[in-house]
A and B are shown apart, each in its own frame.
Chain A
Amino acid sequence: MFTLLFSAVLAFAAPSADDMVKMLTVIDDRQQNSGDYKSLVYIENKQAEKSDLVYQALVYRRDADDKLIILFVKPQSEAGKGYLRLDDNLFMFDPTVGKWERRTERERIGGTSSNRQDFDQSRLHEEYTPSFVAEEKLGSYAVQHIKLAAKTAADVAYPAADLWIDKTTGNVLKRQDFADSGRLMRTTYYPSWNKLYSESKKADVYFPKEIRIIDEVEKGTQTTVVIQEVDLKPLDPNIFTKAWLESKSR
């Protein structure tokens, strides 16, 4: 159904505003699971003149309640650290000191160039207003280039973004985030997508196989996120609490 809808929307060279909102809605819906979501992710950060940062983390999502946990499991020295999103708050927990801290949307997850949005469910149609730029080529793929402006109430890391959407499949292949000043902050690539059938949703759930984030401010800094495994079965109801994350280090 999604493909049909996309084909209809993308058949026109210059989609209307409504069409673009539909495109964003489709992108969001594809990635959303009506039940829970759990994944094992690999995060690698490369920075000039520094050693690589490498993590493995579990990401837990309950999209219906806007809840998210990122729990670092490797390396050993980082195990037990984590982030918890509850409503509009992002908390960070460090078991070494047993303290929680409230962090902002711009928090660099684990000191990498990734932020909370890279691991959370997609809310493009809720958070941004789209406008069409052009049809372009990205490598060997034909793409729709659209601009996004954050809605006033949106709790997002960057107020403006550009998206390049694959004309054939409707998947986002490239994204650029901009600061208020118009300065390009980061470029993100989604070279391939996986889809997995969800029993609770009775449809496929899409997730990027890997994400490449280029830090445009700190030149030479690049973060790769690989979503290694995804599980869509229901999670323990008490998982999205501070107590649960703390219990991992007791």
Chain B
Amino acid sequence: MSSFFLAIRLALRNVAAHAIKNLVVGVILCFGTIVVVSGSALLNSLDVAMRRSITTSVTGDLQVYDKTARDQLSMLGDMNFGGSDNGEIPDYKVVKDALAGTPEVAEVLPMGIGNATVFGANDIDRTLEDLRAAVRSGDTARQTTLVERLQRICTDIRPELDRVEAITNDKEKLTEDRANLDRVIAPAFAAEFTTDPMGTIDWMDGHIASLATDGRLAYFRLLGTDLPAFARTFPRFEITKGGPVPEGERGIVLNESMVEQWLKHPIAREFDWFQKEFTQNGGAIGTSGTVFDRVARMSRQYRRILYQLDSEEAAVLTPLLQAEVGSQETDLVALLKSFLTVTDENFAQRKAFFYAQIAPKIRLYDINVGDTLPLRAFTKSGYLKSLNLKVYGVYRYKGVTNDDSAAGAYCLVDMPSFRDLYGKMTDDQRAELADIKSSVGAKEVDPSASIEDQLFGGGGAVETTVSEITTLENLDSMTFGRVEDRVQHTFTQDQIENGLATNVAVILKDPAQGKAGLTAVQAALDKAGLNLQVIDWRAASGLVGQAATVVQLVLFVAVGVLFLVAMVIINNALVMATLERTSEIGTMRAVGAQRGFVTLMFVLETMFVGVGSGVVGVGIAAALISWLHGVGIPAGNDFLSILFGGKAMYPVMEAFDVALGLGLVTLVSTIATIYPAVLASSVPPVVALQGKE
């Protein structure tokens, strides 16, 4: 024991005696510690941030879905572009009941993933729709305004036909289109309209509306769920416009990112995009490249504004535009083209003018809170199903703004509406189809045999004379009842829970115990005899989760490589430092020190240096992480904002990181010392003293 203390004393003396050498070794060890501690802290913080970001947004800690599903559930994007088949859970309530007694589970939530579209009418279609409403309500002033708008649109389209003439072979159609436009542009058209408003609207529907550019088709990725429970369960969910869907009522809450990127006026989106490019990427319009091309195209999009302006609005806007572009031009088209010619110098002013003066006069968003959205989806059975849903609000996930990832793209709808659009057929509906089929008795053809042989192989008469049928007369008077009566407008909690879901989100009491929770949930489902599978949040997040894993792996490898390099340097430094002291070892051996004692002394010396450097390294790493926690690591792009759970990540250092750094550096430095120490102590004292090692 006394020799051990002697070794400690000698080791401490040596640390001081070889201060410069130990300082060099200490600095290297310190660097290694900083790399390990801060790298570990960053990796762990990223993992925690990502888990929090994803599990508190939409996936929950676990997801349950059909074990026989063709595709794996990927809530945040997959390679199927929304066309995944995740199977079905016929009755959510059964799953809820099965998990009710599982102590690890805090909450479960039904979910239904689907897609829908909303047909985007073109500007003439929209104006005609407004005009039809104005005629129905007897608002003659509004009718006059809208007719004038239509005349302005037709006046603008008319010269386009001259360009069409060069490329079309259908001159007859072109002549007809010109005549139709001239009819609307003519001053007499206003009077003509008043004599037969609805007839004229129908005529314009058939002859004029198709001449405008087609409207945009908007795609919606829907997540049906128990909306009040969703808001309670996912803390990062927040309504930014409007309000939640009232309990027990049908409705939709749009996603803010989706609204900004798909439903906003195209000119506004261009201004927003340029702004983002300039501020985030430090871009300028320049003389070539994407920004330049898009800026060049913008002036040609003046119709996007023009076609939405009423006469009064156009009259108000004209002098404002004249002042803005510094021109006395009175033609609104020329003024708009000039206004939309954006440069680096006038960009900020033009954007501000657009939002202040133009945006209030046009439809800034295709769909607004309070609108009724005519959603359309192909059901699982192939029928086209439509549903009007009121837009109650717009939501986002706290900390994530305007990302274009799939993560934020779900629009939330109530569960009964999801089920309607999903269109799972009831037994009654199947029976109805069977009745129709059997009443007609169409001949079945065998798909495995030649259809031509089946249809034409038997010969027989091709023609048959039939007699007049009069039963169809009764069908003319057939009506199908009010549409409002076909949809159930309110529903109970039981109706939310009793029915189909595509997946179920599970929130664990202790999210850190994900694996134990997953095992317990799977066991509960198996016990209930349900053919369902459970995946964790990382698997459920799909492409985002996979990409995040890659990011983490890259970071881990980078930290590992840095640490490895540091270790090689440490090892070399220690070998050199130890071998340089061979004569000292020889002296100690000559005065009676055993080889084990010499090795122990060197190991202890390095341990002291290692621990000391490690402590300093931990201190520096702590200061670094603390500083990063204060200022945050900016996300930089939308993908990172998902991983970071916001615009920036604020890393924290935990005891584990400190222990890992100190332990690893001390261990590696100690191991690195043993070899040279053993080597040096194995040199015979005489040789060592002669310096012939």
**Residue ranges of A at the interface with B (Cβ–Cβ < 8 Å):** 38-40, 42, 44-45, 47, 50-56, 58, 73-81, 86-89, 91, 94-99, 101-102, 110-111, 138-141, 152-153, 166, 168-169, 171, 173-174, 189, 191-197, 204, 206, 209-210, 212, 214, 220, 222, 224, 226, 228-233, 235-236, 241-243, 247-250
- In the complex, which of the residues A96, A195, A220, A242 has the most CB atoms of chain B within 10 Å of its own CB atom? A96
> Closest chain B residue to A224 by CB distance?
B442
Smallest beta-carbon distance B413→chain A, Å: 15
Report whether A74 and B480 are in contact in the complex, using a CB–CB cutoff of 8 Å.
no
User: Are A141 and B456 closer than 8 Å at their CB atoms?
Assistant: yes
CA–CA, A14 and B121, complex, Å: 50
SS of B interface (majority): mixed
Q: Which residues of B contact A140 (CB under 8 A)?
A: 456-459
Given A88-B210, A140-B457, A204-B465, residue A249 in contact with residue B383 (CB < 8 A): no
Residue of B nearest to A235 (CB): B476
- Answer yes or no: B463 CB below 8 A from chain A CBs: yes
Instruction: Find chain B residues with CB under 8 A from A39 CB.
Output: 472
Interface residues of B (CB under 8 A from A): 119, 121, 125, 169-170, 172-173, 198, 202, 205-207, 209-210, 374-376, 378, 380-388, 425, 429, 432-433, 436-437, 440, 442-443, 445, 447, 451-453, 455-459, 461-473, 475-476, 478-483, 486-487
Does the CB pair A98–B483 fall under 8 Å?
yes
Chain A positions within 8 Å of B425 at CB level: 51
Q: Are A153 and B173 interface neighbours, CB within 8 A?
A: yes
* A231 with B470, Cβ < 8 A, contacts A97-B374, A139-B452 known: yes
Q: Is the CB of A152 within 8 A of B478?
A: no
A56 touches B483 (CB 8 A): no
**B472 close to A77 (CB less than 8 A):** no
Q: Are B465 and A195 in contact, CB atoms less than 8 angstroms apart?
A: yes
- Across-interface contacts of B468 in A (CB, < 8 A): 196-197, 231-232
Closest A residue by C-beta to B207: A87
CA distance A193 to B466 in the complex (A): 10
| Contact residues in B for A191 (Cβ distance below 8 Å) | 455-456
Contact status of A228 and B440, CB under 8 A, knowing A140-B456, A249-B479: yes
Kindly provide the distance from the CB of A160 to the nearest chain B CB, expressed in whole angstroms. 16
Residues of A near B443 (CB, < 8 A) are: 210
B487 CB contacts on chain A under 8 angstroms: 96
Q: Which residue from chain A places its CB closest to the CB of B458 in the assembled complex?
A: A140
Which of B172, B456, B458 is the most central at the interface, judged by chain A CB atoms within 10 Å of its CB? B456
The distance from the CB of B481 to the nearest CB of chain A, in whole angstroms, is: 7
Please provide the 5 A-B residue pairs with the shortest distance between their CB atoms, ordered closest to farther.
Answer: A139-B456, A97-B374, A153-B170, A80-B480, A152-B169
A189 near B462 with CB under 8 A, answer: no
Tell me, rounded to whole Å, the shortest Cβ–Cβ distance linking A86 to chain B: 4
Chain B residues contacting A45 (CB-CB under 8 Å) are 382
Q: State which of B437, B453, B475 has its C-beta within 8 Å of the C-beta of A54.
A: B437
Q: Please determine whether A74 and B458 come into contact, CB atoms closer than 8 angstroms.
A: no
27 A-B pairs in the complex with CB atoms less than 8 angstroms apart: A44-B442, A45-B382, A51-B425, A54-B433, A76-B429, A77-B385, A78-B383, A89-B206, A91-B205, A94-B376, A95-B483, A99-B374, A102-B209, A111-B382, A139-B453, A139-B455, A140-B456, A140-B457, A140-B459, A152-B169, A153-B172, A153-B173, A209-B464, A226-B442, A231-B469, A249-B483, A250-B479
Given contacts A51-B425, A94-B376, 18 further A-B pairs with CB under 8 A are A42-B436, A44-B440, A51-B380, A56-B440, A74-B436, A77-B429, A87-B206, A94-B374, A95-B480, A97-B376, A102-B209, A152-B169, A192-B461, A197-B468, A212-B445, A226-B440, A242-B205, A249-B482
| Closest Cβ neighbor of B209 among chain A residues | A102
B388–A96 touching, CB < 8 Å: yes
Decide if A220 touches B447 in the complex (CB within 8 Å): yes
A174 to B452, CA, bound (A): 9
Within 8 Å CB of B479, what residues of A? 247-250
- Bound-state CA distance A97–B385 (Å) is 10
**Given A192-B462, A196-B466, A50 and B475 touching (CB < 8 A)?**
no
Whole-angstrom CA separation of A204 from B472 in the bound complex:
19
CB-defined contacts of A96 to chain B, threshold 8 Å: 385-388, 483, 486-487
How near does chain A come to B487, taking the closest CB pair, in angstroms? 7
Picked from A51, A73, A153, A228, the residue with its CB within 8 Å of the CB of B478 is: A73
Is A189 touching B455 in the complex (CB atoms < 8 A)? yes
CB distance from A165 to the nearest CB of B (A): 11
Verify B480–A249 contact, CB threshold 8 A: yes
The answer to whether B480 touches A248, judged by C-beta atoms less than 8 angstroms apart, is: yes
What is the CA–CA distance of A79 and B486 in the complex, to the nearest angstrom? 11
Among residues of B, the one whose C-beta sits closest to the C-beta of A193 is: B463
Among the listed B374, B457, B481, which residue makes an inter-chain contact with A139, where contact means beta carbons less than 8 Å apart? B457
Return the chain A residue nearest B483 by Cβ: A95
B301 to chain A, nearest CB (A): 22
Residues of chain A within 8 A (CB-CB) of B198 are 243
Most chain A beta carbons < 10 A, residue from B206, B375, B470 = B206
CA distance A74 to B465 in the complex (A): 28
Q: In the bound complex, what is the Cα–Cα distance between A233 and B478 (angstroms)?
A: 18
A132 CA to B456 CA, complexed, in Å: 22
**A231–B447 contact, CB under 8 A?**
no
Nearest-neighbor residue (CB-CB) of B481 within chain A = A249
Contact: A75 with B433, CB < 8 Å? Answer: yes
Q: Report Cα–Cα, A86/B475, bound state, in Å.
A: 22
Closest approach, in angstroms, between the C-beta of A229 and any C-beta of chain B? 4
**In the complex, which residues of chain B have a beta carbon less than 8 angstroms from the beta carbon of A243?**
198
**B121: nearest chain-A partner, CB-CB:** A101
Across the interface, which residues of A come within 8 angstroms of B482, CB to CB? 249-250
Residues of B within 8 A of A152 (CB): 169-170
Q: Are A75 and B478 closer than 8 Å at their CB atoms?
A: no
Give the chain A neighbours of B429 by CB distance below 8 A.
Answer: 75-77
* Inter-chain contacts of B452 with A (CB < 8 A): 138-139, 174, 189
For A210, list chain B residues within 8 Å (CB): 442-443
Which residues of chain A come closer than 8 Å to B436, judged between CB atoms?
Answer: 42, 54-56, 74-75
The interface centre, meaning the residue of A58, A86, A97, A196 with most chain B CB atoms within 10 A of its CB, is: A97
Q: Which A residue sits closest to B199, measured CB to CB?
A: A241
Q: Cβ of A51 and Cβ of B381 under 8 Å apart?
A: yes
Residue of B nearest to A97 (CB): B374
Inter-subunit contact A98/B381 (CB<8 Å)? no
Enumerate chain A residues within 8 angstroms of B205, measured Cβ to Cβ.
86, 89, 91, 242
Q: Which residues of A contact B481 (CB under 8 A)?
A: 249
Cβ of B465 and Cβ of A52 under 8 Å apart? no
Residues of B close to A91: CB separation below 8 A: 205
Q: With A and B bound together, what is the CA distance between A52 and B378 in angstroms?
A: 14
Distance between A35 CB and nearest chain B CB, rounded to angstroms = 13
- Chain A residues with CB under 8 A of B172: 153
CA distance A99 to B375 in the complex (A): 11
Contacts of A40 in B (CB 8 A): 472, 475
Task: Tell me if B437 and A44 are in contact (CB < 8 A).
Answer: yes
Q: Whose C-beta in chain A lies nearest to the C-beta of B479?
A: A248
Task: Let me know if B472 and A231 touch, CB within 8 A.
Answer: yes
